[in-house]
Copies of this chain bind each other. A is one copy, B any other.
Amino acid sequence: MFRHTKHLQFEAKPEKPDALYAMKLQELIGGAWGEMTVTMQYLFQGWNCRIEGKYKDMIMDIATEEIGHVEMLATMVARLLEGAPDDVTAKAVKDPAVAAVVGGMNPQHAIVGGGGALPADSVGTPWNGKYIVASGNLMADFRANVAAEAQGRLQTARLYNMTDDPGVRAMLKFNLARDTVHQNQWLAAIEQLQEDGLEGPVAPSALFDEENQEHANTLWGLSDGEQAHEGRWASGPAPDGMHEFHYLENPAPLGGPASAPPPSGHLYATHDG
């Protein structure tokens, strides 16, 4: 069960409204790597966690924080939209700075949201549940969480450069810091899983005896770039400590020709049989 305080985790006050920037900032709310994504990803991972104790508790701590990040960004967007030119016709525009806003702002910020934030990204695509994963395998999920925080911090850093508003930047500095610490925490959690003997470096730590060992260490050279063999991924020990990388130059296919069986007569696939 959850509780709420009206106080924001961190202040979200722009110095001045900026409707064009509000449109861009939506990426951090409802984009594939935005705060709705980490909120729902961590909540579902916490609920799906099969180990009681430190892992589950930490996931729920961070998940709960993320709901508050959506709140901060939604508040910021509403404040950035204050006084947006929602009734200005194109023909009335005399100033290039206004033209950029009138042509560029998200029309749904006015028509649908009435000046409030939307559960959508910077081009208006709605957030959807396929953005998240909660597989029950903590190693696989923590890998996804590191990726989410890395992409999230990257997008925040890009958005930081797209504004010079001190109030917006103050909030984004906080967000950058939280993305840094969360990246670190998921990386630490990966180490912890390995220390606790629960998972290995490659997820899931299962079926290694079944898998086709001769194909578990080769890079197939299928593009004609000549330098692919120069990286750590092409020779030497693999990170899992179990394999030695090899580069296969110009490898031959191992299977027979692709084909599909004769069709069922009820389906009217074209056939000459």
- Known contacts A7-B253, A58-B228, A207-B176, A78 near B192 by CB under 8 Å: no
Q: How far is the CB of A116 from chain B (nearest CB, A)?
A: 3
User: Is there an interface contact between B158 and A111, defined as CB atoms closer than 8 Å?
Assistant: yes
Q: Are A268 and B158 in contact (CB under 8 A)?
A: yes
Chain B residue, CB-CB nearest to A176: B211
Given A97-B93, A103-B104, A177-B211, answer yes or no on A1-B188 (Cβ-Cβ < 8 Å). Answer: no
A116 in contact with B260 given A3-B223, A211-B177, A266-B161 (CB within 8 Å): yes
B116, A164: Cβ atoms closer than 8 Å: no
Bound Cα distance from A213 to B181, whole angstroms: 10
A147 to B33, CA, bound (A): 14
**Interface of chain A residues 58 through 92 with chain B (CB within 8 A):** 58, 60-65, 67-68, 70-72, 74-75, 78-79, 82-84, 86-87, 89-92
Number of residues of chain A lying within 8 A (CB) of chain B: 208
Q: List 21 A-B contacts (CB under 8 A).
A: A1-B7, A2-B5, A3-B64, A3-B223, A7-B253, A30-B129, A32-B130, A36-B40, A47-B71, A47-B116, A58-B219, A72-B255, A83-B264, A94-B97, A120-B129, A138-B270, A140-B147, A150-B203, A180-B243, A181-B238, A183-B203
What number of copies of this chain does the assembly contain? 6
**Contact mask A137-155 → B, CB, 8 Å, 1/0?**
1111001101100110111
A166 within 8 A of B: no
Given known A99-B100, A140-B150, contact A162–B86 (CB-CB < 8 A): yes
CB within 8 Å of B: which of A90-133? 90-108, 110-133
Besides A24-B111, A50-B269, A195-B232, 7 more A-B contacts (Cβ < 8 Å) are A8-B255, A44-B119, A54-B229, A82-B261, A115-B260, A176-B207, A198-B272
Query: Cβ of B158 and Cβ of A253 under 8 Å apart?
Result: no
Chain B residues within an 8 Å CB radius of A40: 36, 119
Please determine whether B6 and A258 come into contact, CB atoms closer than 8 angstroms: yes
Contact, CB under 8 Å: B86 / A227: no
Q: Which residues of B contact A256 (CB under 8 A)?
A: 7-8, 11, 13
Instruction: List residues of A (188-218) whose CB comes within 8 Å of B's CBs.
Output: 188-189, 191-193, 195-196, 198-199, 201-204, 206-208, 210-218
Q: Mark A154-195, 1 if CB is under 8 A from B, else 0.
A: 110111111110000100011011101101111111011101
